[in-house]
Amino acid sequence: MTNSANYVRDIFRSAGRRLTSQRRLLLDVLEQSDGHLDAETLYRQAKGLDPNISLATVYRTLAVFKELGLVEEHRLGREHCYYESVQERPHYHFTCRECGRVIEFDSLLVAQIEQELSEQKGVQVLGVHLHISGYCSECRH
């Protein structure tokens, strides 16, 4: 989901925070990424656009983004976290244990499970995270 400048500014303002140029830059890099970025990759990409940004700023900013609901953090079977902008439509992740490739997918079955759980147990589901691991079609051979 592309976050309009006004929408993001309003989120920061309502939380009593400032939308600095470096925060905007980091959000733009995340939104324009085709994949899931770890903090160090995000830092390297942002540093190419703003040589004054620090790795500490990236980590602090990711924590703020998470708190404000602008990014999602995923483990994806690796030793560190990956980040992506919050998407309009729910999606899930498959990670190859051999090459580390991440494949996003969606499934109506997950929505069905969510609805059944709500109806059967009376719960309100606020989020669903599904991560499947195995071997991609290239690594299976």
Sorted by sequence, the CB contacts under 8 Å of residue 19 that are 6+ apart come out as 8, 9, 12, 13
Instruction: Looking at mean pLDDT, say which of 8-12, 25-29, 97-101, 128-132 comes out highest.
Output: 25-29
- Say if CB 42 and CB 35 are below 8 A apart: no
- Say if CB 69 and CB 53 are below 8 A apart: no
What's the rounded Cα separation, in Å, for the pair 10 and 22? 17
pLDDT at 1: 42
Q: Name the pTM for this structure.
A: 0.64
Confidence of residue 42 (pLDDT cuts 50, 70, 90): very high
Largest CA distance in the chain: 54
- Domains along the chain? 5-85 (1.10.10.10), 92-134 (3.30.1490.190)
The predicted-structure confidence for 71-116, as pLDDT tens digits, reads as follows 877 776 666 676 666 666 677 878 888 887 778 788 888 888 989 9
